C-alpha cells in the first residue's frame, strides 16, 4: 500500500487512501482489516508507521472483552475506531514518519496515541515530535513513560525516600527508573520473575522476588494487577505511608486487605491514571507538555532493555494471543512495519 498525498498540502479529495489495521473482533481473536483513510487537511498529517508497541495489561483486557461497560467512554482512545467490546481497533503506542502535511514537518518522526495501523491521518495536535536523541523504536515507550512520570507526581516522591515498586511490567520498571534517579532514594522493584533483575539493577534499583524485601517504605507503587501483589504492597508500607495504585483490573473483582494494621498505620491509597495530569502539576502542565517531557526522558540507552520481541505487522493478528498470554516473556513487544 502506498497512499498518494501531496507533501505540501491537503490531498486531492478524489485520491483513494487505504491502510491496514489490527481489529479485535471477538474474545481472544484479532484480524488485519483494510481501512479507508480520509485525505489529510490543514492541521493534519499523513504518517507511515515505523513501530508500535503492545501495552500488555490494557490490550489483554481489550482483547478478551474485559472493559466494563460503564468504562467504555473513559477507555476510548483518541483515535480508536469501533466500539467496545467488539469489533474495536485499539492501541496507543505508535511511532511514525510524516509523509505529507506542513512542508517543514515532512520526514519528521512523531509519536501518536494511535492503534496498530500501517498508515494513518492524525491531527497535529494529537502528535508529538520525537527528539533527535531518541531512536524511533525506543520512542514507543512514550505512553508508558508518561504514565510513570504522572505516577511520581501523584506520589509526591522526593530525594531520600524509601520507595517500593510491586510489579515489573513496563510501567513498574519505568517508575523504578525515574524513582532511582531521585538523589538518595532507596528503590526496590519486587516481581516474581527473576528476569526483571537485570533491568531493575541497570536502572539503579534493588531487585527482589521476596515481597517482604522492603519494609517500612515511605511510598509504595502497586503495578502487578493482582490481589496478592496489592496485599504485599500494603504490607510494605510504613507508618502513614502512601500506596499508589497503578493497576487497572477491568471487570475483575479485587480483594484489598484493609484489616490488620491498615488503620493503625494510617495508610493512604491513591489512584494514578494518565488521562488527567496530576493535580500537583495541573496548573502549569498541559498534556502536550507532559508528553514532550516523557519523550525527552527516553534519551537513555538503558531503556532499550525494555524492548522485547519484535513482531512483523503482517503477523500481528495471529501472534496476538501468544504475545498477550500471561507469563509471556519480555517486557514490551514491538511491532515492526515494512
Among 107, 169, 160, CA closest to 132 = 107
Mean pLDDT of 250-256: 87
Q: What's the number of domains the chain is made of?
A: 2
Residues 202, 313, single domain; the answer is no
Give the C-alpha separation, 257 to 232, whole Å.
Answer: 10
Residues 266, 153, single domain; the answer is yes
- Inside any domain, residue 305: yes
The mean predicted confidence, pLDDT, of the chain is: 94
CA dihedral 2, 5, 8, 10 (to 10 degrees): -150
Mean pLDDT of 109-134: 98
- Inside any domain, residue 217: yes
Q: How high is the pLDDT of residue 16?
A: 57
> Please, which pLDDT band fits residue 253 given cuts at 50, 70 and 90?
confident
Give the C-alpha separation, 17 to 120, whole Å.
Answer: 10
pLDDT per residue as tens digits for the range 32-70? 999 899 999 999 999 999 999 999 999 999 999 999 999
Among 170, 44, 51, 62, CA closest to 116 = 51
- Inside any domain, residue 54: yes
Residues 264, 152, single domain; the answer is yes
171 touches 149 (CB < 8 A): no
What does DSSP assign to residue 164? E
- Inside any domain, residue 288: no
Residues 152, 247, single domain; the answer is yes
- Inside any domain, residue 286: no
Residues 259, 199, single domain; the answer is yes
The residue among 265 and 250 whose pLDDT is bigger is: 265
Q: Last residue of some domain: 271, 288, 316? A: 271
70 touches 64 (CB < 8 A): no
Residues 310, 233, single domain; the answer is no
Domain holding 196: CATH number?
Answer: 3.40.50.720
Residues 214, 121, single domain; the answer is no
Give the C-alpha separation, 52 to 94, whole Å.
Answer: 4
Residues 39, 109, single domain; the answer is yes
Beta partners for 80? none
Q: Cβ atoms within 10 A of the Cβ of 193, count?
A: 12
Q: How high is the pLDDT of residue 222?
A: 98
- Inside any domain, residue 138: no
Among 150, 191, 142, CA closest to 334 = 142
Residues 25, 85, single domain; the answer is yes
Residues 188, 264, single domain; the answer is yes
> Please, which pLDDT band fits residue 252 given cuts at 50, 70 and 90?
confident
100 touches 6 (CB < 8 A): yes
pLDDT per residue as tens digits for the range 269-291? 999 999 999 999 999 999 999 99
pLDDT per residue as tens digits for the range 91-107? 999 999 999 999 999 99
pLDDT per residue as tens digits for the range 79-92? 999 999 999 999 99
Residues 232, 172, single domain; the answer is yes
What residue numbers bound the domain in which 233 lies? 145-271
Question: If DSSP codes are grouped into helix, strand and coil, which group holds residue 191?
Answer: coil
Angle between helices 142-155 and 170-180 (to 10 degrees): 60
Residue 263's contacts (CB-CB under 8 Å, 6 or more residues apart) are none
Q: How high is the pLDDT of residue 174?
A: 98
Domain holding 69: CATH number?
Answer: 3.90.180.10
- Inside any domain, residue 11: no
Residues 176, 87, single domain; the answer is no
Q: Last residue of some domain: 255, 271, 287? A: 271
What does DSSP assign to residue 114? -
- Inside any domain, residue 291: no
Amino acid at each position: 500500500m502506498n497512499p498518494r498525498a501531496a507533501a505540501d498540502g491537503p490531498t486531492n479529495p478524489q485520491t483513494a487512501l487505504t491502510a491496514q489495521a489490527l481489529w479485535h473482533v471477538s474474545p481472544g481473536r484479532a484480524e488485519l482489516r483494510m481501512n479507508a483513510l480520509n485525505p489529510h487537511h490543514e492541521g493534519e498529517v499523513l504518517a507511515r508507521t515505523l513501530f508500535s508497541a503492545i501495552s500488555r495489561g490494557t490490550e489483554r483486557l481489550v482483547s478478551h472483552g474485559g472493559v466494563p461497560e460503564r468504562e467504555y467512554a473513559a477507555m476510548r482512545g483518541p483515535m480508536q475506531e469501533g466500539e467496545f467490546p467488539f469489533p474495536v481497533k485499539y492501541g496507543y503506542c505508535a511511532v511514525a514518519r510524516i509523509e505529507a502535511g506542513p512542508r517543514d514537518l515532512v520526514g519528521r518522526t512523531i509519536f501518536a496515541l494511535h492503534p496498530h495501523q500501517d498508515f494513518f491521518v492524525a491531527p497535529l495536535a494529537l502528535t508529538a515530535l520525537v527528539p533527535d536523541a531518541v531512536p524511533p523504536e525506543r520512542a514507543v515507550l512514550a505512553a508508558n513513560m508518561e504514565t510513570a512520570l504522572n505516577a511520581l507526581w501523584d506520589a509526591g516522591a522526593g530525594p531520600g525516600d524509601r520507595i517500593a515498586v510491586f510489579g515489573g511490567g513496563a510501567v513498574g520498571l519505568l517508575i523504578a527508573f525515574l524513582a532511582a534517579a531521585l538523589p538518595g532514594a532507596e528503590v526496590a522493584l519486587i516481581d516474581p520473575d527473576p528476569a526483571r533483575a537485570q533491568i531493575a539493577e541497570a536502572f539503579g534499583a534493588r531487585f527482589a522476588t521476596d515481597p517482604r524485601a522492603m519494609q517500612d517504605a515511605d511510598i509504595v507503587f502497586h503495578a502487578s494487577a493482582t490481589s496478592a501483589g496489592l496485599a504485599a504492597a500494603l504490607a510494605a508500607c510504613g507508618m502513614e505511608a502512601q500506596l499508589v495504585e497503578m493497576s487497572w483490573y477491568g471487570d475483575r473483582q479485587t480483594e484489598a486487605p484493609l484489616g490488620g494494621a491498615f488503620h493503625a498505620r494510617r495508610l493512604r491509597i491513591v489512584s494514578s491514571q494518565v488521562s488527567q495530569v496530576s493535580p500537583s502539576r495541573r496548573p502549569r502542565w498541559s498534556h502536550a507538555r507532559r508528553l514532550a517531557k516523557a519523550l525527552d526522558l527516553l534519551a537513555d540507552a538503558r531503556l532499550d532493555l525494555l524492548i522485547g520481541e519484535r513482531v512483523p505487522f503482517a503477523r500481528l493478528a495471529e501472534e496476538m494471543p501468544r504475545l498477550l498470554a500471561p507469563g509471556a516473556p519480555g517486557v514490551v513487544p514491538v511491532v515492526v512495519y515494512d
